[in-house]
Structure 1
Amino acid sequence: MVSLNKNILRTILIASYIMIVALIISGVSALFSYLNTGADRSTMLHTEIKKVDQYAPKMDWEPLQNEGRPMDDQTLNAIQHDYLDAWYVKQIAYKSNKTAGIKDYYTDSARKNLFDFIDLNKAQGISIEATTLHHNPTLEYFSQDGQLAVITDRNVVEYKRVFKAKELILETTETSTYQMVFLLEDGFWRIRHLVKDKADIYNNEPQQIEVNSLNIKGINYYPQANPWNMFGDEFSAEIIATDFKIIKDAGLNSVRLFVQYEDFGKEHVDAKKIEKLKQTLDAAEANNLKVVLTLFDFFGDYSVMNWTLNQRHAEAVVNAVKDHNALLAWDIKNEPNLDFESRGKDNVIAWLDSMIDLVKSTDPMHPVTIGWSNTESASILKDKVDFISFHYYEDLESFDSAITTLKAEIPNKPLVLQEFGISSYSGFWKPFGSSDEDQANYHKKIQEQIAANKLQFMSWTLYDFTDVPTAVVGSRPWNRNTQKHFGFIDKNGTKKEAFQYISKQ
């Protein structure tokens, strides 16, 4: 027995020894591998930065007519890459009051001013959230040895928020002109010298579009089989065309569609998704329907440092379909006021304000609106949008009063009731819900109120759905089941009682 115990102990000791040796060898191997691997620039920044995914302001280079050596495209792209990284790390440094990454993109002489500014802000409890939205660089000079470049960047559009002790003390958008000298060091185009020549308040008031003739009588649309995933693998132009004919034959003239930010590829917009969107617009045109296209659905990140990525997304989508005959208007964001509490009201409004400017500058021909979730928020940015859109899922007894108040606040722009409806679900998870008859009575009454208040409208929605993603209403079955039954047509394709009131005649 003693001999057996000794053997067991000896086996354990040998196994432990082998394991320790293996761990030591593994650690040495990992260290050796690290020491023999080239530095990763995103690691060198010490801020987990990947420029291609973090910073993409609009860049409009002047045609190359520089003095000195001719500039090739590869070198120009390298300078632009490092220039934007330099802006990005500076913005992060000003927000965090930390200097990580600065050394990679600024030479010793240029760093001193940045470090001094950061130290001063840190001592005074000041932080700055900022981004640049548009650059207009000109290459002035490129040295014969290819090691030095001089650039003037004119009318740089900069948005800034200044905080003191975490309280906002200044919000501004400026246009500034910068002169810079770049040196090529260790494979980086570092800024050696930077001078801010001048700064002016950015004044961009987009032209308002006359929209009194819109006459929207429409509906929010998703296909029955794949709601909230309309442009996915189950996309069917034929089904959409059939549904659009139903909508047109019901006496409606427009549909509201949704472009989801992540689904369409964020800042790298998916060309296949765009093609499906164009096919959908073709189907609308074939059925003589107009389209209100909602951007940034399922989106909730309004941080200043991501604005440039959001704007590249919007710019790509708008440019792709702005000339389509079916397009009626742009809806910047679906129910952004629901993000006020979690994301900060000022942040959301500032993002919307800037995005309106971007969309209008990209497409000055089509009107712009925002799909507010209630009448209380609908007057926000009323002077920037071309018509007012709001949703209403509250008691109809209060509807007329809410519209009267809204008209008093906004007397000079069309009002569109962009979403409304009632679920016909009554079952295990909601035993005291509404019936098909209740739904029909609701639509009959609200259409009377719409007519009396001379409103334009887009109801929710054509179909009942067999499945609703948890991302839409959460996982609670009473919410999901309720959301499945807002349609005018049930899951079997039969028109419900409410269908007779889908449009005011």
Structure 2
Amino acid sequence: MVGPNRNILRTILIASYIMIVALIIYGVSAVFSYLNTGADRSTMLHTEIQKIEQYLPKVEWEPIQNEGRSIDDQTLNTIQSNYLDAWYVKQIAYNTNKTAGIKDYYTDSARENLYSFIELNKAENTTIEATTLRHNPTLEFFSEDGQLAVITDRNVIEYKRIFKADSLVLEIKETSSYKIVFLLEDGFWRIRHMVKELTEPTNDNPKIVSVDSLNIKGINYYPQANPWDMFGDAFSTDIISKDFKIIKDAGLNSVRLFVQYDDFGKEHVHTEKLKKLKQTLDVAEAYNLGVVLTLFDFYGDYSVMSWTLNQRHAETIVDAVKDHNALLAWDIKNEPNLDFESRGKENVIAWLDNMIDLVKSVDDTHPVTIGWSNTQSATILKDKVDFVSFHYYEDLEDLDEAIKSMKNDIPDKPLVLQEFGLSSYSGFWKPFGASDEDQANYHKKIQEHIATHGLQFMSWTLYDFTEIPTEVVGKLPWRKNAQKHFGFIDKNGAKKASFKYISN
């Protein structure tokens, strides 16, 4: 038995030797491969944040007429990218009082000032939420050796919130200009000097658009087969055309449509969605219907660091359809006051305020409004909007006093009752709900209020629906079933008793 055991042992030793050699060769090969490849800059960033998906301020370069060496597009784009990264990591650092990422975009001397400021804020329990919304850089100088660049960034729009011990102590929006010197180090265009040259007040009073000819007499619209997914796979101009004809023939002159932030591609708006939106506006124009277009439906992130992404989304959509003949007005957001408690009232209002400015900067022709969910919030930002929109699903007996109060607080702006209605659902989940007759009586009465107070209006909604997405009213069956029956036309296509009062 000694001979066979010796052979087995020899075989094991030889196999082990071969395996060890193979592992050594593999390790050497891996090291050699690593040493012969460039480092991935994404692994060098300490922020663990992809700036391109987090921070997209508007950047418009002045024509390149710099002193020194001419610059190619690739180098200019790299400088721009590193410059925006520098802003972004500084904003993150001031918000967290941590220095991660600073050394990648600032030279030794420049970062010392930042470190000192962060240490001071940390000691005083101060944090800063900030973003820039617009940059207008000019390349002033590019050195012959390609290692130094100087730019002036004029009229940079900055927004800041300063907190002490989590309490807001200062909110400011300013327009500043900067002179920046860059050095090329280790493949990074790092900031060597950054000097603020001047500070100017921003224009907090954008142009007020004439609304004398609005005369809104309309309805909130979704197709019956695909509500809340109007621009999805089931999109059909034939169906929309049929429905818009019904709306026009009923004596209405406008529709309210909704653009959902995620559905349209967030900051990178989907081309096919824009195409469908334009086709819908074409159909509206064919029937001489004006369109109130509501932006940011189903969106609830008002954090300052997301503002630039939101603004690129709105800018793309507004710019794409601002010249369409069917466009009547912009509604910044549907019922944003419902987010006051969960997102912070100050955060929501600041977001709305700046979004109004953005929309008006792209389209200074069409009026802007906000679709408040109640009459109590209607006075918010009343000086920034062109007309005031409110929704009303409360007791009709209280409507007169609510309107009088709004007219007293907002004497110089048109009031639009932008959503109202009554569900005709009465069934297992709501045995004492309203009937079709109750719904008709409701619309008869509310039209009397509208006439008495000279309101403009948009009712909710043309159709009863068979399916309601959970995102709209949640999962509770009594809420979903009630939501299905607000229409003037039932699920079988028959006009309900309320249709008689759809327009007056």
Residue in 2 aligned with 1:309? 309
Residue 355 (1) aligns with residue 349 (2)? no
Residue in 1 aligned with 2:424? 424
1:95-106 matched pairs, under 5 angstroms: 95-106=95-106
Residue 299 (1) aligns with residue 296 (2)? no
Residue in 1 aligned with 2:451? 451
Residue in 1 aligned with 2:13? none
Q: Report the more deviating stretch, 139-148 or 408-417.
A: 139-148
**Cα distance between partner residues in 1 of 2:202 and 2:215:** 35
Residue 172 (1) aligns with residue 175 (2)? no
Any idea what SS the aligned residue of 1:490 has? Answer: coil
Cα deviation 1:424-481 (Å, max 9, x = unaligned)? 1111111111111111111111111111111000000000111010011111111111
**Cα distance between partner residues in 1 of 2:105 and 2:473:** 45
Residue in 1 aligned with 2:276? 276
Residue 133 (1) aligns with residue 133 (2)? yes
1:368-379 matched pairs, under 5 angstroms: 368-379=368-379
Cα deviation 1:217-261 (Å, max 9, x = unaligned)? 000000000000000111001100110000000000000000101
Any idea what SS the aligned residue of 1:432 has? Answer: coil
**Cα distance between partner residues in 1 of 2:105 and 2:485:** 56
Name the amino acid aligned to 1:291: V
Residue in 1 aligned with 2:55? 55
**Cα distance between partner residues in 2 of 1:196 and 1:146:** 25
Instruction: Check whether the contact 1:216–1:416 (CA below 8 A) recurs between aligned residues.
Output: yes
Residue in 2 aligned with 1:254? 254
Any idea what SS the aligned residue of 1:62 has? Answer: coil
Any idea what SS the aligned residue of 2:193 has? Answer: strand
User: Shift in Å at residue 40 of structure 1?
Assistant: 4.3
Cα deviation 1:77-128 (Å, max 9, x = unaligned)? 1111111011000000001100011111111111001001100111111111
**Cα distance between partner residues in 1 of 2:106 and 2:452:** 65
User: Shift in Å at residue 47 of structure 1?
Assistant: 2.8
User: Shift in Å at residue 331 of structure 1?
Assistant: 0.3
Any idea what SS the aligned residue of 1:184 has? Answer: strand
**Cα distance between partner residues in 2 of 1:40 and 1:266:** 28
Residue in 2 aligned with 1:289? 289
Q: Report the more deviating stretch, 244-253 or 205-214.
A: 205-214
Cα deviation 1:103-156 (Å, max 9, x = unaligned)? 111111110010011001111111111110111111011111111111111111
Cα deviation 1:319-361 (Å, max 9, x = unaligned)? 0000000000000000000000000000000000000001011
CA RMSD of aligned residues (A): 1.7
Residue in 2 aligned with 1:80? 80
Instruction: Check whether the contact 1:42–1:49 (CA below 8 A) recurs between aligned residues.
Output: no
User: Shift in Å at residue 188 of structure 1?
Assistant: 1.4
**Cα distance between partner residues in 2 of 1:195 and 1:452:** 60
Q: Report the more deviating stretch, 202-211 or 446-455.
A: 202-211
User: Shift in Å at residue 43 of structure 1?
Assistant: 4.1
User: Shift in Å at residue 177 of structure 1?
Assistant: 1.2
Name the amino acid aligned to 1:343: R
Instruction: Check whether the contact 1:255–1:292 (CA below 8 A) recurs between aligned residues.
Output: yes
Name the amino acid aligned to 2:465: F
Instruction: Check whether the contact 1:152–1:180 (CA below 8 A) recurs between aligned residues.
Output: yes
Cα deviation 1:38-83 (Å, max 9, x = unaligned)? 6544443333311111111111111000011111111111111111
Residue in 2 aligned with 1:321? 321
**Cα distance between partner residues in 2 of 1:424 and 1:454:** 27
Instruction: Check whether the contact 1:285–1:326 (CA below 8 A) recurs between aligned residues.
Output: yes
Where structure 1 has 5 or more consecutive residues not aligned to the other structure, the ranges are: 1-20
Normalising to structure 1: TM-score of the pair?
0.92
Instruction: Check whether the contact 1:220–1:458 (CA below 8 A) recurs between aligned residues.
Output: yes
Where structure 2 has 5 or more consecutive residues not aligned to the other structure, the ranges are: 1-18
Instruction: Check whether the contact 1:174–1:200 (CA below 8 A) recurs between aligned residues.
Output: yes
1:440-479 matched pairs, under 5 angstroms: 440-479=440-479
**Cα distance between partner residues in 2 of 1:456 and 1:319:** 27
Residue in 2 aligned with 1:224? 224
Residue in 1 aligned with 2:150? 150
Residue in 1 aligned with 2:498? 498
User: Shift in Å at residue 212 of structure 1?
Assistant: 2.4
Name the amino acid aligned to 2:194: L
**Cα distance between partner residues in 2 of 1:40 and 1:273:** 35
Name the amino acid aligned to 2:91: Q
User: Shift in Å at residue 185 of structure 1?
Assistant: 1.7
Any idea what SS the aligned residue of 2:211 has? Answer: coil
**Cα distance between partner residues in 2 of 1:106 and 1:233:** 48
Name the amino acid aligned to 2:502: I
Residue in 2 aligned with 1:118? 118
Instruction: Check whether the contact 1:150–1:179 (CA below 8 A) recurs between aligned residues.
Output: yes
Name the amino acid aligned to 2:344: G
**Cα distance between partner residues in 2 of 1:146 and 1:38:** 20
Residue in 2 aligned with 1:15? none
Residue in 1 aligned with 2:70? 70
**Cα distance between partner residues in 1 of 2:352 and 2:218:** 24
**Cα distance between partner residues in 1 of 2:38 and 2:251:** 66
Any idea what SS the aligned residue of 1:402 has? Answer: helix
User: Shift in Å at residue 195 of structure 1?
Assistant: 1.2
User: Shift in Å at residue 307 of structure 1?
Assistant: 0.6
**Cα distance between partner residues in 2 of 1:226 and 1:48:** 40
Any idea what SS the aligned residue of 2:350 has? Answer: helix
**Cα distance between partner residues in 2 of 1:42 and 1:440:** 62
Instruction: Check whether the contact 1:172–1:201 (CA below 8 A) recurs between aligned residues.
Output: no
Name the amino acid aligned to 2:464: D
Q: Report the more deviating stretch, 161-170 or 378-387.
A: 161-170
Residue in 1 aligned with 2:334? 334
User: Shift in Å at residue 201 of structure 1?
Assistant: 2.4
Instruction: Check whether the contact 1:138–1:153 (CA below 8 A) recurs between aligned residues.
Output: yes
Instruction: Check whether the contact 1:162–1:171 (CA below 8 A) recurs between aligned residues.
Output: yes
Percent of aligned pairs with the same amino acid: 76
Name the amino acid aligned to 1:483: Q
**Cα distance between partner residues in 2 of 1:416 and 1:481:** 28
**Cα distance between partner residues in 2 of 1:38 and 1:376:** 60
Residue in 2 aligned with 1:437? 437
Any idea what SS the aligned residue of 2:246 has? Answer: helix
**Cα distance between partner residues in 2 of 1:465 and 1:90:** 49
Residue in 2 aligned with 1:10? none
